[in-house]
Amino acid sequence: MVLSIKRFEGKVAVVTGASSGIGAAISEELVKNGIIVAGLARRTEKVEELSKNLSGKKGKLHAFKCDLTKEEDIVSVFEEIKNKLGPINILVNNAGLSQKGSLIDGDTKAWKTVLDTNILGLCIATREAVQDMKTNNTKGHIIHINSVLGHQVIDYAGLNVYGPSKYAVTALAQTLRFDINREKLPIKITSVSPGYVKTEFQQVAGLETLPPAVPGLAGEDVADAVIYTLSTPPSVNISVGNIDKRINIRELLIYLLFRDSRSIKPLFLI
């Protein structure tokens, strides 16, 4: 199997939550590989700053303001992207958040914000991208940035509905595959589930920050996994220890030894 991302050069990718952390790292790697990236964020100034730093690279990063808890924002921004940049080939559903609290005395509004962002926002963005891909008969790729917490519940104070929202992402990826295969659309679906990633996530969520000595992934490590999945041929997906045709998709657990750690940390590609 020949791995190459060249077929996406000059094509359009949408990355949600592109202002920092994993989303910024993914956007940067896509641009370096010659892809035109629409970076969605509420803090567009951060995306614009990253875009300036990437000037002179093969691709280009464009900032688009979007609040993923608002359907009208999502629908509107996808229409704007299509009008300004052209048909969409890649969607990376990266945006996700948590807000500290417990299921015993947590705040309903906070729960709703997490669920609207992590589940409904992802669903709406996916729908808009798939509809565009369907219209243009695009051999596209939808990538959900999931979490190992979408496969196993852990005892970590303050997560409340975050873990369940990621379990939903796991189920949504498989359900989307069924829908895509039923309509025989040439669109690949990948769910990438990193372990602990050293970003501002914990701090923003008000969660306990793990000590620096705790091994963790960098956003760039997750970006590398995204580039790898995009590099596989259109007819191929990753399966259990094998490379199978798209129609035969199973769960794969691979252990990657990352650049700056002596330990092996799990990353699921599903």
Distance, in Å, from the CA atom of 165 to the CA atom of 143, rounded to the nearest integer, reads 16
Nearest to 172 by CA among 184, 197, 194, 189: 189
Distance, in Å, from the CA atom of 222 to the CA atom of 199, rounded to the nearest integer, reads 12
Tokens of 255: 């252990």
Identify whether the C-beta of residue 230 lies closer than 8 Å to the C-beta of residue 269: no
Tokens of 38: 């629409």
Q: Is 184 helix (H, G, I), strand (E, B) or coil?
A: coil
Could you tell me where the beta strands, DSSP code E, fall in the chain? 12-16, 36-41, 60-65, 88-93, 141-145, 188-194, 236-238, 243-245, 252-256, 265-269
Tokens of 266: 């799990």
CB-CB neighbours of 13 under 10 Å: 29
SS (HEC) of 18-33: CCCHHHHHHHHHHHHC
Identify whether the C-beta of residue 193 lies closer than 8 Å to the C-beta of residue 147: yes
Identify whether the C-beta of residue 40 lies closer than 8 Å to the C-beta of residue 81: no
Our answer to whether residue 167 is catalytic in this structure is: no
Q: Which of 162, 167, 196, 255 is catalytic?
A: 162
Active site residues: 162
